[in-house]
Chains A and B, each alone.
Chain A
Amino acid sequence: MLLDYDRMGWLRVALLGFTALVAGFLLLPVVFIVLLSFGSSRWLAFPPPGWTLKWYQELFADPAWLNAALTSARIATMTAILAVAIGLLASFALVRGRFAGREILRGLLLTPMVLPVVVFAIAIYAFFLRLGLGGTTIGFVIAHTVLALPFAIIPIATALEGFDKSIEDAAIVCGASPLEARLRITLPSIRIGIFSAAIFSFLASWDEVVVAIFMASPSLQTLPVKIWGSLRSDLSPVIAAASSLLVGLTLALMVMTALLHRKFRT
């Protein structure tokens, strides 16, 4: 290949430098937020005049923040469970099914990934208002599940495509009913896809803000909504602390996924 990395000579250095620059540009704001959350300046001065944990103390002392975090976790967990359940059934239909309109169904299920979120948010807000689901946990979970479905379907469908159906047939010949074969053989064989789907759909809900702003009510706020709201009323380092926690959990889950993938590969 013309652009073979091994044959680039001095260009390699330039490429590495450029890549580092892009990565830095993308990651630096996150690093700043984390640093500021430990800084002692009330006015988010940088570099911080000193280091402190008091913003975290303030964060954990305020029930509103804690509530928001718990709400986020609850909604994200329910979203993950629902998205994986639906994603599993949908993946079987999309991978194994032979029916008219299968490609259309696949397209529809994956649409939320490409549709501008704000359009989806306004539409579902108007719809849920009429159904009385606005500002409810159920409404939140349904809306987030729609958004999370593509992230559940893609890894599960990929795993299922890579799974040889003869193995399931073998289980059936061995005496397992088709349902038993799927539960005891097929699901464990594609578990890496299911784990990935669960983590990705959890994250799709966990850090989602646009739909959440429309769905939230004063008594039901997720962490991103609370951050957004606080940001507009008073700019406090507590927000940086909350954001750092949000980033922290996301990072932890991503690392977990990567480790799982590595473990299953060997």
Chain B
Amino acid sequence: MTHPFLSIRNLRKAFGAIVAVHDVTLDIPRGEFLTFLGPSGSGKSTTLYAIAGFQDPTSGDVLLEGKSLLAVPSHKRNIGMVFQRYTLFPHLTVAENVAFPLRVRRRPDADVKKKVADMLALVRLESFAGRLPGALSGGQQQRVALARALAYDPPILLMDEPLSALDKKLREEIQGEIRRIHRQTGVTILYVTHDQEEALHLSDRIALFKDGRIEQTGTGEDLYLRPATDFVAGFIGNSNFLAAEHLGTTNGTTTIRMTDGSVISGVRANGTFGKGQKTRLMIRPEAFSMERSPASAELNVEIVDIAFYGERRRIVARIAAGQEVDIRPTSAMQSQDVWPCSRQVFFDPAAAFLFPA
């Protein structure tokens, strides 16, 4: 029987009465870029630290190629890690920092030299080899930390919000670097972030954490287009939740009634609902269109405000019940809107999701 490359089995971690991780089970194939995404306190970092060996789980197991890692101390797990804070050794130069893991492994001098040069080339900091960390920018420090973590060819690289201390522009730049390095080295990466854009941009798959459990695991598209729960729908991307009443589901076609009495057929139902059950319909702002198309449903709204954002317009509208709706249709080249006004906006029911209220 073949084992999954890295396997997290029923992991649980309690700090006294507080349970940080309830029950996490996950298989990660070799070479995957998997992101633990979730709000702070959702257990994603604790799970990562259990894999690194800095937290002993209360129960459950972490297996690498079928063998448990739990009895192996951190320094013998041969795992690479980049931390949220800058962790370069302040008294060592950039080259000495990258060489450190090789030196403690007693590698021959010539090997160390070559590997350090390779690694600094990988993160494009060759000319900084002789500098001390204090003379580097935050982004450069994290790139050196990445080089140090990869210098000993670890099978797994853990990254704990490595970019959260950097500004937006630098963050995007280093995200590109991380993607390139992942492709170039083929290392398996477990990446922790609370930034959904970062997760979508970087990952092969995303595990969305909530309250110490994984809410959904899948590609960015899975989570965005096929959210399993309203939490996923609300966390990934922008979303509007509108109250609706479930009228019935026949032959897989779900029909609902909105608060203004209009009836819509063909929305996607997550789970089964009773007749007359109160539900919420989730519609992405960009799923709305200002023009009717054959399959579209309609929503009566009052336009309150329109702002131009380049490729999109952002429209604030209000339904009869008073709730505000966020609408971001693609900017039509010729359209000249006036507001306030009452009108209909349109959406494809198949791109709207029904969740329990």
Inter-chain contact A166/B148, CB cutoff 8 Å? no
In the complex, are the beta carbons of B83 and A175 less than 8 A apart?
A: no
In this assembly, does A170 line the interface, its C-beta being within 8 Å of a C-beta of chain B? yes
Find out whether the CB atom of A175 lies under 8 angstroms from the CB atom of B87.
Answer: no
Partner of A174, one of B73, B90, B104: B104
A176 near B75 (CB under 8 angstroms)?
yes
Determine if B231 is an interface residue (Cβ-Cβ < 8 Å). Answer: no
For residue A92, give the distance in angstroms from its CB to the closest CB of chain B: 18
A175 near B101: Cβ-Cβ < 8 Å: yes
A173 to B81 CA separation, bound complex (whole angstroms)? 7
Question: Are B81 and A175 in touch, CB under 8 angstroms?
Answer: no
Inter-chain contacts of B89 with A (CB < 8 A): 167, 170-171, 185, 188-189
> Bound complex: CA of A175 vs CA of B149, how far in Å?
10
The listed residue (B83, B86, B101) touching A169 by CB distance below 8 A is B83
Is B87 a contact partner of A166 (Cβ separation < 8 A)?
Answer: yes
A180 at the interface (CB under 8 A from B): yes
A188 → chain B closest CB, angstroms: 5
- Could you tell me the distance in whole angstroms from the C-beta of A148 to the nearest C-beta in chain B? 26
Of B54, B79, B81, B104, chain A has the most CB atoms within 10 Å of the CB of B104
Interface of B is mostly: loop
Distance, CA A185 to CA B149, complexed state (A): 16
* A172 at interface, CB cutoff 8 A: yes
Nearest A residue to B152, CB-CB: A175
Minimum distance in angstroms from B124 CB to a CB of chain A: 21
A164 at the interface (CB under 8 A from B): yes
Taken together as a complex, chains A and B put the C-alpha atoms of A173 and B152 apart, in Å, by 11
Q: CB within 8 A of A173: which of B75, B84, B88, B90?
A: B75
A57 at the interface (CB under 8 A from B): no
CB neighbours (8 Å) of B91 from chain A are 188-189, 191
A178 at the interface (CB under 8 A from B): yes
- CB-contacts of B82-113 with A (<8 A): 83-91, 100-101, 104-105
Known: A175-B75, A176-B104. A170 touches B145 (CB 8 A): yes
Cross-chain contact A170 with B75 (CB below 8 angstroms): no
How distant is the Cα of A174 from the Cα of B119 in the complex, in angstroms? Answer: 15
The 8 A CB mask of B221-253 against A (1 = contact, 0 = none) is 000000000000000000000000000000000
Within the complex, the shortest CB–CB distance from B96 to chain A, in Å, comes to 11
Please measure, in the bound complex, the distance between the C-alpha atom of A176 and the C-alpha atom of B90, giving whole angstroms. 16
Chain A residues contacting B79 (CB-CB under 8 Å) are 173
Closest to B134 in A: A266
Which residue from B78, B81, B104, B152 sits with its C-beta under 8 Å from A170?
B81
Contact A177 B75 (CB under 8 A): yes
B163 part of interface (Cβ distance < 8 Å): no
Could you tell me the distance between the alpha carbons of A180 and B77 in the complex, rounded to whole angstroms?
16
Total contacting residues, chain A, CB less than 8 A: 20
Q: Are A178's CB and B87's CB within 8 A?
A: no
Task: Specify which chain A residues have a CB less than 8 angstroms from the CB of B105 in the assembled complex.
Answer: 175
Contacts of A167 in B (CB 8 A): 87-90
Q: In the bound complex, do residue A173 and residue B100 qualify as a contact, i.e. CB atoms below 8 Å apart?
A: no
For A166, give its contact among B77, B83, B101 (CB under 8 Å). B83
Q: Which residue of B lies closest to A170 (CB)?
A: B87
CA of A130 to CA of B121, assembled, Å: 68
> B300 an interface residue at 8 Å Cβ cutoff?
no
Which of A173, A177, A184, A188 gathers most chain B CB within 10 Å? A173
CA distance A196 to B80 in the complex (A): 35
Check: B206 CB closer than 8 A to any chain A CB.
no
Instruction: Return the CB mask of A155-187 against B: 1 if under 8 Å, else 0.
Output: 000000000101101111111111011001100
Q: Is the CB of A175 within 8 A of B80?
A: no
Q: Which residues of B contact A188 (CB under 8 A)?
A: 89, 91
Is B74 an interface residue when CB atoms closer than 8 A count as contact?
yes
Q: Is the CB of B90 within 8 A of A175?
A: no
Query: How far apart sit A170 and B160, CA to CA, in the bound complex (Å)?
Result: 12
Which residues in B have their C-beta under 8 angstroms from that of A185? 89
Q: How far is the CA of A164 from the CA of B88 in the complex (A)?
A: 10
Decide: B104 and A173 in contact? CB cutoff 8 A. no
CB pair A166 B85 closer than 8 Å:
yes
Which A residues are in CB contact (< 8 Å) with B149?
A: 173-174
Task: Name the B residues within 8 Å of A180 (CB-CB).
Answer: 104
Are B85 and A172 in contact (CB-based, < 8 A)? Answer: no
Contacts A/B (CB < 8 Å), 19 sampled: A164-B85, A166-B83, A166-B85, A167-B87, A170-B81, A170-B145, A170-B148, A171-B100, A172-B75, A173-B52, A173-B75, A173-B77, A173-B79, A174-B100, A175-B101, A175-B105, A176-B104, A178-B75, A184-B100
Known A173-B79, A173-B80, A176-B75; further 20 A-B contacts with Cβ < 8 A: A166-B84, A166-B87, A167-B89, A169-B87, A170-B83, A170-B87, A170-B145, A173-B52, A173-B75, A173-B77, A174-B104, A174-B148, A174-B152, A175-B75, A175-B101, A175-B104, A177-B75, A184-B100, A188-B91, A189-B89
